[in-house]
């Protein structure tokens, strides 16, 4: 201490510098504390990376919970049913075959002359019935079914919509056109405020699809060259009441002279189904 006091006395202001230097040396042991304080932001980086990882997981879960796009692939109708077979063609084929073989056997051109009378007896009426059915035949209309609509048909389509679909995609006999009775009541042929029968719309095709809010819809596409969109729109309520209950009808304009009547079922599919 005597040497320090002597130096302080001899150097004057230098003693103060020396004391400050000694005080700075005494602060050196506290430097690790300051170094540790500088390392704290580095220790927080792992927490920040985990924070961003959680945000990414939340985004992925939100994407998986978003609604999926409906399936718009067309389902081909390859199922074989008797409704798709023309009985007129069958009757004509059987009748003509029996008549041809019966005449050949009768004139001894073909074997089986003892059966010729029986074949001619049944061949004539079968051929006549076949021709009559072919003359009164009404061919089925094309049906376009999408995959999402086909999945909703059994649970959401009303019995009337199912019946309408089954009636127009099979052969019919004796009717002038498909849905003839329905169109007769809706458009009131030959009555006041109605239309002439020659101007009646003709069903060209049907389409099964799902609306934007997930409802089953059966679309009837008509060709009506003598009618306008207003003729269909003012009968929108009649379409809904005739094909109801549980039906909402919408009218739309297609290409050229085509008009669409969309019969939308009010039944909504449950998540379990």
Evaluate if pTM is beyond 0.85: no
Helices (H), 12-69: 13-27, 31-64
Model confidence over 4-19: pLDDT tens digits? 444 344 444 444 333 4
Model confidence over 41-80: pLDDT tens digits? 444 444 444 433 333 333 333 333 333 345 578 887 777 6
Model confidence over 237-251: pLDDT tens digits? 999 999 989 999 999
The fraction of the chain above a pLDDT of 90, given in percent, is 54
The reported pLDDT for the residue numbered 256 is: 84
Paired with 205 in beta bridges are 221
Check if the beta carbon of residue 228 is closer than 8 Å to that of residue 165. Answer: no
Model confidence over 156-201: pLDDT tens digits? 999 999 999 999 999 988 888 999 999 999 999 988 889 999 999 9
Higher pLDDT, 45 or 141: 141
Check if the beta carbon of residue 77 is closer than 8 Å to that of residue 143. Answer: yes
Is pLDDT of 234 > 60?
yes
Count H helices and E strands in the chain, helices first.
10, 7
* Whole-angstrom distance, CA of residue 25 vs CA of residue 76: 91
DSSP state of 133: H
Best CA proximity match to 112, nearest among 96, 125, 100: 100
DSSP state of 197: G
* Whole-angstrom distance, CA of residue 259 vs CA of residue 253: 5
């Amino acid at each position: 201490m005597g040497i320090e006091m002597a130096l302080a006395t001899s150097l004057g202001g230098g003693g103060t510098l020396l004391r400050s230097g000694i005080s700075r040396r005494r602060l050196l042991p506290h430097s690790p504390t300051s170094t540790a304080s500088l390392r704290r932001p580095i220790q927080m980086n792992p927490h920040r990376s985990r924070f961003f990882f959680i945000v990414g997981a939340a985004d992925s879960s939100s994407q998986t919970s978003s609604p999926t796009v409906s399936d718009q692939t067309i389902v081909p109708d390859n199922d074989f049913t008797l409704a798709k077979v023309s009985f007129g063609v069958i009757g004509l084929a059987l009748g003509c075959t029996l008549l041809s073989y019966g005449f050949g056997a009768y004139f001894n051109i073909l074997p089986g002359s003892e059966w010729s009378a029986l074949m001619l007896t049944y061949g004539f009426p079968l051929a006549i019935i076949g021709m009559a059915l072919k003359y009164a035949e009404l061919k089925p209309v094309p049906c376009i079914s999408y995959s999402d609509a086909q999945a909703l048909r059994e649970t959401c389509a009303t019995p009337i919509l199912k019946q309408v679909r089954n009636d127009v995609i099979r052969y019919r006999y004796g009717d002038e056109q498909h849905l003839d009775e329905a169109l007769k009541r809706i458009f009131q042929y030959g009555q006041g405020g109605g239309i002439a029968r020659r101007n009646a719309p003709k069903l060209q095709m049907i389409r099964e699809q799902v609306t934007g809010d997930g409802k089953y819809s059966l679309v009837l596409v008509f060709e009506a060259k003598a009618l306008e969109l207003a003729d269909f729109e003012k009968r929108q309520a009649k379409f809904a009441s005739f094909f109801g209950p549980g039906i909402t009808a919408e009218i739309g304009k297609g290409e050229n002279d085509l008009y669409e009547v969309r019969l939308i079922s009010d039944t909504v599919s449950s998540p379990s189904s």
